């Protein structure tokens, strides 16, 4: 009998029904997280559920329009953990980790772009070109960058508009100046 499988990581095959189960579980956890926010300044970035052996690991990445504190993450962890236990969402043992995305985590939502207006971004487009520029504007369809252009020994800047659909990866560049 042939089983339909999807490749999850190098050398690992997971049945497609399990992928569907994980997606449903992630959606259910996402709904609980969004329902657990105390205000509308915080938002969900991503939910990941491990597929490895042993206890499941549930990683929830959250952010805020003005950032998020460790205390915010701890309070949210208590609320979400309680709901997961009360509603018996996850079979067996699991580890719940609620965190903010790290500085190397790509921007994935319009709200993340908006909170980073004025900062330097490194963009990899869907056609694998790389560019850097200062984020000037964010709209519902894309962004405007002030991209550095070298003309000989002189630096110049030009405004570049990119649709979100043209962006493969956008990472905020940390400056220590």
Q: List the chain domain ranges.
A: 5-99, 110-172
Answer yes or no: are the C-beta atoms of 94 and 57 closer than 8 Å: yes
Place 104 in a pLDDT band, splitting at 50, 70 and 90.
confident
φ, ψ dihedrals at 70, nearest 5°: -60, -40
Q: In a 3-state reduction of DSSP, which class is residue 167? A: strand
Mean pLDDT, residues 155-171: 94
Pick the CATH number of 110-172 from 3.90.120.10, 2.30.30.100, 3.30.430.20, 3.90.1170.10: 2.30.30.100
Mean pLDDT, residues 152-175: 91
Pick the CATH number of 5-99 from 3.10.129.10, 3.30.300.70, 3.40.190.10, 3.10.20.740: 3.30.300.70
Q: Return the pLDDT at 53.
A: 79
Helices (H) and strands (E) counted in the chain, each on its own, are 3, 10
Does pLDDT of 2 surpass 80? no
């Amino acid at each position: 009998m042939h089983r339909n499988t999807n490749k999850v990581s190098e050398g690992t095959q997971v049945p497609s029904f399990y992928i569907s189960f994980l997606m449903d579980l992630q959606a259910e956890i996402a709904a609980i997280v969004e329902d657990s926010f105390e205000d509308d300044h915080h938002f969900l970035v991503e939910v990941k559920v491990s597929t490895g052996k042993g206890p499941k690991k549930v990683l929830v990445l959250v952010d805020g329009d003005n950032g998020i504190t460790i205390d915010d993450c701890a309070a949210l962890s208590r609320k979400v953990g309680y709901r997961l236990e009360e509603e018996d969402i996850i079979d067996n043992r699991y580890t719940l980790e609620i965190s903010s995305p790290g500085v190397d985590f790509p921007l994935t939502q319009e709200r993340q772009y908006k909170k980073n207006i004025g900062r330097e971004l490194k963009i990899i487009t869907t056609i694998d070109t790389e560019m850097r520029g200062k984020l000037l504007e964010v709209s519902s369809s894309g962004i405007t960058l002030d991209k550095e252009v070298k003309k000989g020994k002189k630096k110049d800047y030009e405004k570049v508009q990119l649709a979100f659909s043209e962006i493969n990866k956008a990472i905020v560049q940390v400056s220590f100046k």
